Amino acid sequence: MEIGGTLIEETYAEAFTMRVARVVITAESRRWATIAGQAMTGFATSVIGCGCEAGLEGPQPGRTPDARPGVRALLFARSAEALEDQLMRRVGQCVMTAATTACYDDLPSEETVRVGDLLRFFGDGHQVSKVLDGALVSGRPRRLWRVPVMDGEFVVEGRFGVRKGVAGGNFLVLGETPEATLEAAERAVAAIRQVPCVIAPFPGGIVRSGSKVGSRYRKLTASTNTPYCPTLRRSVETALPRDVHATLEIVIDGLTLEDVERAMAAGIRAACGRGIVRISAGNYGGKLGKHLIHLMSLLGRE
């Protein structure tokens, strides 16, 4: 298959299941909601070294629980326990500290983790709980905590819903030059950010240091993806055609497999064009994740 002169390889991306939470951060202005969201989702590119994967979701919410400007964020971790720890730390250190903010759950679920129920203790006994009239989540009342802070009150939901999500959807952009490859990857990310329920957690949505499983060093679980490194093409078994001189990876996490597939399709189509030789994907022979996303069928069904 070719799209805009770019060859789509007959391969698949290998994604896996993780736990996901979805939050809404509001503030007096969208600027401050965004500042808090960006701080909360910082250092969250990969569970390999960051403890979670997180990012701001687009497009922005049209309505928020307190009718103020807001942003959505998705956070992924290997377990509900790990997600509770990450949420508590990130909401406490990055949202509660940001001027005028509040933080609400946006993923109703029977499985929940504590966030406000832990952060309330910062109020030093002066915190106040509020149960929303008629608001039930999986049969339970929806409880908010009002924690006194120096510009008024920080409002935070007591418990946040957790569900199974899909992480690790990906594709590789193989270009003739680093400049053309970066431009194509940026087009892909711009298209992905128009898809709801997904994030691209790496800086600017793009990965330059794609990895493979394992290393010649025993303590490392992952190392540089040598077959796609242009400087190594003469010393390793390369996956790069002669006219490819740069590769960039796009990684996508989403609430469902269908969300990830929609985002991958949108990103791949946006990346294709002049200067882009091939689109490929990262997989490990089906040994890492149970979700195998075949590029040909993904694009062929549209």
**Spatial contact of 87 and 44, defined as CB atoms under 8 Å apart:** no
Query: Which of residues 96, 129, 163 is at a domain's end?
Result: 163
Question: Please, what is the average pLDDT of the chain?
Answer: 94
Would you say residue 137 has pLDDT above 70?
Answer: no
Same-domain check for residues 122 and 149: yes
Same-domain check for residues 283 and 295: yes
Q: Which residues are paired to 45 by β-bridges?
A: none
Structure tokens at 46: 């990969």
Spatial separation of the C-alpha atoms in residues 70 and 82, rounded to whole Å:
25
Structure tokens at 229: 């490194």
**CATH code at 79?**
3.30.70.520
pLDDT band at 2 (very low <50, low <70, confident <90, very high): very high
pLDDT band at 139 (very low <50, low <70, confident <90, very high): low
Summarize pLDDT for 254-298 with one digit per residue, the tens: 999 999 999 999 999 999 999 999 999 998 877 778 999 999 999
Task: State mean pLDDT over 239-250.
Answer: 97
Same-domain check for residues 147 and 172: no
Same-domain check for residues 96 and 218: no
Instruction: Write the single-letter amino acid at 236.
Output: V
Same-domain check for residues 23 and 149: yes
Other beta carbons within 10 Å of 51: 19
The secondary structure of residue 9, as a DSSP letter, is P
Same-domain check for residues 240 and 279: yes
* Closest to 166 measured CA to CA, from 259, 41, 294: 259
Spatial separation of the C-alpha atoms in residues 268 and 244, rounded to whole Å:
17
pLDDT band at 131 (very low <50, low <70, confident <90, very high): confident
pLDDT at position 163: 97
Would you say residue 136 has pLDDT above 90?
Answer: no
pLDDT at position 83: 98
Backbone Cα Rg of the chain: 21
Could you tell me the residue range of the domain that residue 291 belongs to?
A: 2-14+165-300
Same-domain check for residues 47 and 83: yes
* Closest to 188 measured CA to CA, from 198, 200, 201: 200
Other beta carbons within 10 Å of 298: 21
Share of the chain above pLDDT 70, in %: 97
Query: Which of residues 163, 182, 202 is at a domain's end?
Result: 163
Task: State mean pLDDT over 122-150.
Answer: 85
Summarize pLDDT for 177-197 with one digit per residue, the tens: 999 999 999 999 999 999 999
Query: Which of residues 163, 191, 215 is at a domain's end?
Result: 163
Task: State mean pLDDT over 68-81.
Answer: 97
Structure tokens at 75: 């956070």
Exposed e or buried b per residue across 244-262, where buried means at least 16 C-beta atoms within 10 angstroms of its C-beta: bbbbbbbbbbbbebebbbb
Same-domain check for residues 295 and 191: yes
Same-domain check for residues 24 and 150: yes
Task: State mean pLDDT over 233-248.
Answer: 96
- CB-side neighbour CA atoms (13 Å) of 272: 18
Same-domain check for residues 197 and 130: no
Three-state DSSP class for residue 178? helix
Instruction: Write the single-letter amino acid at 205.
Output: G
Would you say residue 134 has pLDDT above 70?
Answer: no
* Closest to 103 measured CA to CA, from 21, 24, 29: 24
Same-domain check for residues 26 and 158: yes
Of the two residues 40 and 130, the one the predictor is more confident about is 40
**Spatial contact of 228 and 210, defined as CB atoms under 8 Å apart:** yes
Structure tokens at 252: 């996508």
Q: What percent helix, strand, coil does the chain show, rounded to 5?
A: 25, 35, 35
Domains identified in the chain, total number: 2
pLDDT at position 27: 98
Task: State mean pLDDT over 97-123.
Answer: 97
pLDDT at position 214: 86
Candidate from 97-101, 158-162, 181-185, 280-284 with smallest mean pLDDT: 280-284
Other beta carbons within 10 Å of 73: 25
